[in-house]
Amino acid sequence: STISIYKNFYVKAVSLKLMMKMSLPPWSSPSPSQPEEHLQLEPVYLLYDERMLQHCPVDWVEPEDYPEDLDEVDGDYQVEVPERLRVIYQRLCDLGRRLRYEEDISVDTIYKPLRCEMATKEQVLYAHSEAQYDRLDRLQYLIYAELAAMSRQSRNDVYYCSESFNAAKLAAGGLLGCVDAVCSPAATTTGDGIGSTPARTNKAVALVRPPGHHACQSKEMGFCFIDSVVVAAKYALATKKASRIAILDWDIHDGNGTSDGTIRDENIFRLDIHRYNPREGFYPYTGAPHDIGAGKARGLNLNMAWSHGGMGNVEYAAAFYELILPLLVDYKPDLLLISCGLDAAMGDLLGGCELTPGFFHAMTRATLEAVGPGTPVVCALEGGYTMSVIPDCMEAVTLAMLGCPYRYHS
């Protein structure tokens, strides 16, 4: 079983403090009669770049209403669209402004903005073959008919436009900027329009698209072109910013591209919680529990696989208590990269699971507690496809990254 494979990691148990924090309802708040401490938030780096919105279907026309249920989606609708990024960014901007005026919160800076620089060819090659890079780089020179034909041939697995690869390079380069920022020993001062002061943080929230964790070394798939998290991990190792990296992927789909890029790397511990059912099938049809790594990295690839949908807060809490948090506590990473898919949320068009925004907050908070305050953390957006759901979930994750209780959720 998965647990027996990883029994050598059970040197330490999750502390009672972690378990208590996870078991308390994350939406609970003290009664009015209880005094509250004055909260001092830790700012986070926030990465966003409008140029990533330019990746869209060649015949894209924004619908008047985005679908709330899979029954409302026709065969031509693309679920990975620019609006995903826009609605999340707007919500986080609203959150920043609102927190500035909360009377019991002491804060000068909420976000320290980061802008994307495109990843170079050398950097993309940390995760992908040169032939794959060159093939995708040619997208910018193709005409409409060629791009449309390629998109039709992919059968909604991925679509192409002239800006697709540039957007993917921005996403990857943005994560490299996040790694540089959170791993830097020097404090920086930035202005964000919401408030600015000299502040230091080792946490970043990266709003990036197209997503990346399905992109394999020589193949784009699952809306993904470049596995930005793998590029970031390999970059951190190559530049000696980290030597012991953990990648935690809670997107409901297996990060097969991330596994492809790290399966033999003894300096990266990948933990992925997702759906996997070889009989009924669930995209991308990979991520079996017995795939545990290869060579010197054997035992460093954990697939925590649900055999069916409908998994909710209770099931995820059990998985975190019994497996994921103890492994993180024992591994002691010096950099944590979170592939933050939001498609396990209740109401997602593709995920079929039932996590609440409150649990995304609890899951993030417990993960940060497990690795400790001194560990740099980059939380990068992956999947999540219902426009009314993803802002709630990403706001909850960001509140946890800020060290802010869930009761401040809008």
Q: Which of the residues are catalytic?
A: 214
CA distance 226 to 380: 13
- Positive or negative, the CA dihedral 333, 88, 363, 215 is negative
**With 0-12 CB in 10 A as exposed, 13-18 as middle and 19+ as buried, what is 280?**
exposed
CA distances from 407 to 32, 105, 208, 400 (A): 13, 12, 26, 11
Helices marked H in 25-163 — which ranges?
83-100, 121-124, 130-137, 144-153
Half-sphere exposure of 49 (CA within 13 A, CB side): 24
CA distance 32 to 206: 35
CA distance 315 to 397: 19
